[in-house]
Amino acid sequence: MRESGKIPRGPPDLPTGTEVIEQKCVAYLIGKGGQALAAINAAAGVSTQIDQSTKSFGYSMANIYGTEEGTAKAKLILRQKISEYRPLRG
Protein backbone atom coordinates (compact mmCIF):
# COMPACT_ATOMS: atom_id res chain seq x y z
CA MET A 1 0.00 0.00 0.00
CA ARG A 2 2.82 2.38 0.78
CA GLU A 3 4.19 2.12 -2.75
CA SER A 4 1.08 3.79 -4.16
CA GLY A 5 1.65 6.84 -1.98
CA LYS A 6 -1.89 6.61 -0.68
CA ILE A 7 -2.80 6.28 2.97
CA PRO A 8 -5.10 3.31 3.56
CA ARG A 9 -8.69 4.23 4.28
CA GLY A 10 -11.02 2.80 6.91
CA PRO A 11 -13.92 0.34 6.62
CA PRO A 12 -15.28 -1.91 5.16
CA ASP A 13 -12.34 -4.11 6.22
CA LEU A 14 -11.73 -5.05 9.82
CA PRO A 15 -9.18 -2.85 11.58
CA THR A 16 -5.62 -4.15 11.72
CA GLY A 17 -5.43 -2.85 15.28
CA THR A 18 -7.45 -1.25 18.05
CA GLU A 19 -6.60 0.82 21.07
CA VAL A 20 -8.83 1.68 24.02
CA ILE A 21 -8.80 5.44 24.67
CA GLU A 22 -10.04 7.03 27.88
CA GLN A 23 -12.84 9.37 26.91
CA LYS A 24 -11.16 12.36 28.56
CA CYS A 25 -8.28 12.02 26.05
CA VAL A 26 -10.34 11.70 22.87
CA ALA A 27 -10.65 15.40 22.02
CA TYR A 28 -6.92 15.85 22.67
CA LEU A 29 -6.04 12.98 20.33
CA ILE A 30 -8.33 14.24 17.58
CA GLY A 31 -7.19 17.85 17.92
CA LYS A 32 -8.69 21.00 16.49
CA GLY A 33 -10.31 20.17 13.18
CA GLY A 34 -8.88 16.65 13.37
CA GLN A 35 -5.32 17.91 12.89
CA ALA A 36 -3.70 15.86 15.66
CA LEU A 37 -5.26 12.61 14.48
CA ALA A 38 -4.36 13.44 10.87
CA ALA A 39 -0.74 13.94 11.95
CA ILE A 40 -0.72 10.54 13.69
CA ASN A 41 -2.19 8.93 10.58
CA ALA A 42 0.38 10.57 8.31
CA ALA A 43 3.31 9.66 10.58
CA ALA A 44 2.27 6.01 10.77
CA GLY A 45 0.85 5.67 7.24
CA VAL A 46 -2.51 4.45 8.53
CA SER A 47 -6.10 5.57 8.86
CA THR A 48 -7.35 5.80 12.44
CA GLN A 49 -11.01 6.23 13.20
CA ILE A 50 -12.32 6.95 16.68
CA ASP A 51 -15.46 4.98 17.54
CA GLN A 52 -17.20 6.85 20.35
CA SER A 53 -20.20 4.53 20.64
CA THR A 54 -18.91 3.51 24.09
CA LYS A 55 -18.18 7.02 25.39
CA SER A 56 -20.94 6.75 28.01
CA PHE A 57 -18.82 3.99 29.57
CA GLY A 58 -15.81 6.31 29.80
CA TYR A 59 -13.81 5.13 26.81
CA SER A 60 -13.73 5.07 23.02
CA MET A 61 -12.02 2.75 20.56
CA ALA A 62 -9.36 3.81 18.10
CA ASN A 63 -9.74 1.55 15.07
CA ILE A 64 -6.53 1.52 13.04
CA TYR A 65 -6.47 0.50 9.37
CA GLY A 66 -3.22 -0.12 7.52
CA THR A 67 -0.21 -2.40 7.51
CA GLU A 68 0.88 -4.29 10.61
CA GLU A 69 3.98 -2.10 10.79
CA GLY A 70 1.95 1.09 10.46
CA THR A 71 -0.54 -0.12 13.03
CA ALA A 72 2.22 -0.83 15.55
CA LYS A 73 3.68 2.64 14.93
CA ALA A 74 0.26 4.28 15.32
CA LYS A 75 -0.29 2.48 18.63
CA LEU A 76 3.06 3.73 19.92
CA ILE A 77 2.25 7.29 18.89
CA LEU A 78 -1.24 7.10 20.43
CA ARG A 79 0.17 5.80 23.71
CA GLN A 80 2.83 8.53 23.73
CA LYS A 81 0.23 11.25 23.09
CA ILE A 82 -2.00 9.87 25.85
CA SER A 83 0.94 9.93 28.28
CA GLU A 84 1.41 13.63 27.42
CA TYR A 85 -2.27 14.49 28.05
CA ARG A 86 -2.85 17.12 30.71
CA PRO A 87 -6.38 18.31 31.46
CA LEU A 88 -7.11 22.00 31.16
CA ARG A 89 -7.35 23.74 34.48
CA GLY A 90 -10.08 26.30 34.86
Structural domain contains residue 47:
yes
Structural domain contains residue 90:
no
> Which among 85, 80, 76 is positioned nearest to 17, based on CA atoms?
76
Structural domain contains residue 52:
yes
Q: What is the pLDDT of residues 32-70, one digit of tens each?
A: 999 999 999 999 999 999 999 999 999 999 999 999 999
pLDDT band, residue 87 (cuts 50/70/90)? confident
Strand 47-51 vs strand 17-22: parallel, antiparallel, or unpaired?
unpaired
What type of residue sits at position 52?
Answer: Q
What CATH number should be reported for the domain holding residue 19? Answer: 3.30.1370.10
Structural domain contains residue 42:
yes
Structural domain contains residue 89:
no
* pLDDT for 67: 95
Beta bridge partner(s), residue 22: 59
Using the predicted structure, report yes or no on whether residue 2 has a pLDDT greater than 50: no
Q: What is the pLDDT of residues 76-85, one digit of tens each?
A: 999 999 999 9
The boundaries of the domain holding residue 45 are 2-84
Determine the distance from the C-alpha atom of residue 28 to the mean position of all C-alpha atoms in its chain, rounded to a whole number.
Answer: 11
Count of structural domains, the chain: 1
Structural domain contains residue 58:
yes
